[in-house]
């Protein structure tokens, strides 16, 4: 299996961390959900690297990328994404985003349509986002600063039996930092989390979807409700329901749908 290499690229005055699985062919960039990190794609990246050049980016404030005081909007993070592509000498890319990351992909496709070859949305579609619901869904740990051992026990308790493998645990833990006293804190600063949620709640994808000019794949769980704003020609892939993020719980199914979509539409 292809092993990712951790790299950084500096654009402007910010340093961005990314995971590079190598590969040849069209570039596919993987974008994480709000509060997560590039490691959330660790199980999918190597499955795609055979036919594509694959990398996953820690966006502004996330993971091991820089954490400036401001700029936590979809518009600015999209500019960051396009700047990172420039820094990696990538003119065109397939953009795959999970949750919030898909909003960045959609914004990028609208802002630079000649650069986004195809868009892959992993999650429940571009439905309406209520700020209160987002606050609940993306709340930080209710006990920030809990010991790492207790935090890991909570992850295991909230996961299906046998699913919390070392690779999955490592991917989830990558969004946190463990201090010298073995206490766990989110890597995403709280002010950034709040700003991103408020901005995401105000995001209006309908017009962007209406004018989307590239192929779109929406990969969702069986129980997810699709947004009525999806284009008629969007390709929908249904995966088994998951308690963890789809890229971590259904990596093989997700990668299979992505490969089929790319073969047929790109």
Longest dimension (CA), the chain: 53
pLDDT at 153 over 80: no
Separation between Cα atoms, residue 145 and residue 185, nearest integer Å: 6
pLDDT at residue 124, rounded to an integer: 66
Instruction: Tell me the two tokens of residue 173.
Output: 């833990």
For 45-54, 78-87, 119-128, which range has the lowest pLDDT when averaged over its residues?
119-128
Q: 47 or 225: whose pLDDT is higher? A: 47
pLDDT at residue 47, rounded to an integer: 97
Look over the chain and give the mean of its residue pLDDT values, rounded to a whole number: 91
For 70-74, 88-92, 210-214, 219-223, which range has the lowest pLDDT when averaged over its residues?
219-223
Confidence band of 164 (pLDDT split at 50, 70, 90):
confident
Instruction: Tell me the two tokens of residue 233.
Output: 């020609």
pLDDT in tens, 165-182: 888 888 988 999 988 888
Confidence band of 223 (pLDDT split at 50, 70, 90):
confident
pLDDT at residue 196, rounded to an integer: 97
For 74-83, 105-114, 227-236, which range has the lowest pLDDT when averaged over its residues?
227-236
CB-based contact 59:97 (threshold 8 Å): no
List of residues 6+ apart from 185 with CB closer than 8 A = 144, 145, 176, 177, 179
pLDDT at 127 over 70: no
Predicted TM-score (pTM) of the model is 0.94
Domains and CATH numbers, the chain: 5-138+188-265 (3.40.50.1820)
Confidence band of 90 (pLDDT split at 50, 70, 90):
very high
Separation between Cα atoms, residue 259 and residue 43, nearest integer Å: 15
* Mean pLDDT of the 134-154 span: 76
């Amino acid at each position: 299996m292809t092993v990712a290499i951790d790299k950084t690229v500096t654009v402007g005055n910010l340093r961005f961390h990314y995971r590079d699985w190598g590969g040849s062919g069209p570039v596919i960039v993987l974008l994480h959900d709000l509060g997560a990190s590039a490691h959330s794609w660790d199980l999918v990246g190597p499955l795609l690297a055979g036919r594509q050049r694959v990398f996953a980016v820690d966006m502004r404030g996330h993971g091991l990328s820089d954490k400036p005081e401001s700029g936590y909007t979809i518009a600015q993070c999209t500019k960051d994404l396009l700047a990172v592509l420039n820094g990696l000498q990538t003119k065109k890319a397939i953009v795959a985003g999970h949750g919030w990351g898909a909003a960045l992909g959609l914004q990028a496709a609208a802002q630079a349509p000649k650069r986004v070859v195809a868009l892959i949305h992993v999650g429940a579609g571009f439905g309406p986002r209520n700020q209160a619901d987002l606050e609940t869904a993306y709340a930080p740990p209710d006990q920030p600063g809990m010991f790492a051992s207790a935090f890991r026990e909570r992850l295991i308790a909230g996961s299906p039996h046998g699913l919390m493998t070392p690779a999955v645990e490592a991917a989830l833990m990558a969004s946190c930092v463990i201090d010298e006293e073995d206490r766990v804190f989110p890597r995403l600063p709280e002010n950034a989390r709040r700003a991103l949620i408020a901005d995401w709640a105000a995001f209006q994808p309908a017009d962007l979807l209406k004018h989307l000019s590239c192929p779109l794949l929406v990969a969702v769980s069986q129980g997810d409700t699709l947004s009525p704003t999806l284009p008629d020609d969007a390709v929908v892939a249904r995966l088994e329901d998951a308690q963890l993020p789809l890229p971590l719980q259904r990596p093989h199914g997700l990668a299979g749908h992505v490969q089929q979509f790319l073969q047929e539409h790109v």
